[in-house]
Amino acid sequence: MTPLLADPAPGLLRAAPIQPSGHTMSQKRLLRYLEIKVHHLIQDRGWDSIRVIGDYDRSTVVSRYEKTGKLFNIERPTATVQGGDLVVKAFPGADYVQHYALIIATYLAITGRRADTVSYQPPGQEECRTALDALDLTLDGDLVIVGWGLEHLAPENGGWTSRPGYAWQRAEVAGRRVVYLGFLHSIWGDVAGRVVARLAELGAGDVVYVGKVGSLTPGIEPNTWLATGNTSLVGGELVSWDDFFGDYAASRGGVQCGLHVSSPTTMLENRDWLAQHTASYAFVDPEIGPMGAAARQAGIGFGYLHVISNNLTAHYPADLSNERHDDVLRRRTVLIDRIRAIITGRLTGSPAQVRGGTR
């Protein structure tokens, strides 16, 4: 019998676990997805309470399940032990704090442990904004490429300049100054929008986001297509932006173009959510909409070119729970080559030259 959920302390919100039976991932795959994300202190023992807050603090207990084998997006929330209580510290962002709290609560519920111990405290707007004040680059109309796969997109002979939480590399492509910017921590959801706003403050002319999206279209096999577009559903409203790619990326082979929907957390993407969105929207992720909205407000260009990493409408061999599988990595190597060629072609005004696709 599931224990009754206790009321959280004032200022905290309860993290109610999602129902695995209604999620777009099977329970087995959902558990595998959670296991690679939940802090080891939570997996190893029980706690009287678990509270998730917004605080980027690398001086506390680092999870032994942090990612390895790549340069960026390797850090996960840290934890501080306070007697029988655990405080989990995620990079400040409303979406990310909620996302991680739901991950923890759902993991505990699936594994037969008490989930009513989990709460979260959404960080304030000022707290979220100042968390990115440390991002400091000299930009003068530069194109900033941020996100996933940067070690393969940036010049092979280039060097990375590192600062706490991020690193960058400069290059010039067809006379355009380009900055490749990677973060060690996650820039989940609304954090990504603040990254764009901060880059605009620093003088960026355009921002391109390279990452991964889920497909809402039946028949689209993961890791065989790229996704792009210029409109996202954000908080119930459609937001469009000045697309860096224009029609260029959408006209390339192996690229799907469509409407995007922004979701604050994969944990809420259940079958009911899918039924509400699949008819009108092609892609889902947490970052694209906030980034496009921030670019529009700042008056700079924005574009995204993403690997379609999973499909919410059906169970394929590849999904969010096995992204480190050799076949997945092999397919994505082909796609990152295509992304690099499309970005170069957009800057040079020449057709993209890419190796054969995986379809």
Residues 6+ apart with CB under 8 A from 283: 213, 214, 215, 216, 227, 229, 256, 258, 259, 260, 261, 306, 308
As a whole number, mean pLDDT of residues 198-223 equals 97
Distance CA 357, CA 82 (A): 52
Q: Beta strand pairing status for 85-90 and 78-82?
A: antiparallel
Structure confidence at residue 358 as a pLDDT band (50, 70, 90): very low
Question: pLDDT, tens digit, for every residue of 12-58?
Answer: 999 999 999 999 999 999 999 999 999 999 999 999 999 999 999 99
What residues does 161 pair with on adjacent strands? Answer: 168
pTM for this entry: 0.93
How much is the pLDDT for 350? 66
As a whole number, mean pLDDT of residues 335-352 equals 88
Q: Is the pLDDT of residue 109 over 60?
A: yes
Q: Is the pLDDT of residue 5 over 80?
A: no
As a whole number, mean pLDDT of residues 253-278 equals 97
Structure confidence at residue 8 as a pLDDT band (50, 70, 90): low
How much is the pLDDT for 239? 98
What residues does 212 pair with on adjacent strands? Answer: 307
Summary mean pLDDT of the chain: 92
As a whole number, mean pLDDT of residues 140-146 equals 97
Q: Which region, left, alpha or beta, applies to residue 71 given φ > 0 means left and ψ of -120 to 50 means alpha?
A: alpha
Q: Is the pLDDT of residue 356 over 60?
A: no
> Which residue has 């695995």 as its token pair?
20
Distance CA 33, CA 327 (A): 18
Residues 6+ apart with CB under 8 A from 349: 174
Render 34-51 in DSSP notation, one character per residue. Answer: HHTTS-HHHHHS--SEEE
Residues 6+ apart with CB under 8 A from 28: none
How much is the pLDDT for 351? 59
As a whole number, mean pLDDT of residues 103-126 equals 97
How much is the pLDDT for 7? 59
C-alpha distance from residue 249 to each of 117, 146, 183, 342 (Å): 47, 17, 25, 6
How much is the pLDDT for 2? 36
Q: Is the pLDDT of residue 61 over 80?
A: yes
